Amino acid sequence: MRQIPVDTSNATVMVAKAPQPKVKDRRTGEIALDKDGVTLMTVEVMFSTPDEVEILKLTVPQPGVSEDLTMGTPVALTGLVASAWENEFNGQKRHGIAFRAVAVTSLAATGSASKAA
């Protein structure tokens, strides 16, 4: 599957919903892991550019998620890529775009640390 890099340089990004473990199977509650066995997290962010605002649901490895991400926290996205997906379930085709990032880093923590210095 082709991954397309997403340019975040002209965007303001804030947490829309606190990170949650990504669920692989809703019936069993099984948590999704990457190929190395690392827990994957889902982070919803408000992605605002001068032309539009969208809520994006990102998949991020747990070590790449800053602690204390709450609604409204400004964040930086590292390695954000988009991938098209398509599947068929019970005879119905579905498709969309999946977003994945290497890290979601709080800018609030960075700002408060630099003010304290």
57-86 per-position pLDDT tens digit? 999 999 999 988 999 999 999 999 999 989
18-52 per-position pLDDT tens digit? 999 999 988 999 999 999 999 999 999 999 999 99
CB 45 within 8 A of CB 59: no
Of the candidates 13, 22, 104, which has an alpha carbon nearest to the alpha carbon of residue 67?
A: 104
pTM exceeding the 0.85 threshold for the entire prediction = no
Of the candidates 63, 49, 52, 53, which has an alpha carbon nearest to the alpha carbon of residue 101?
A: 63
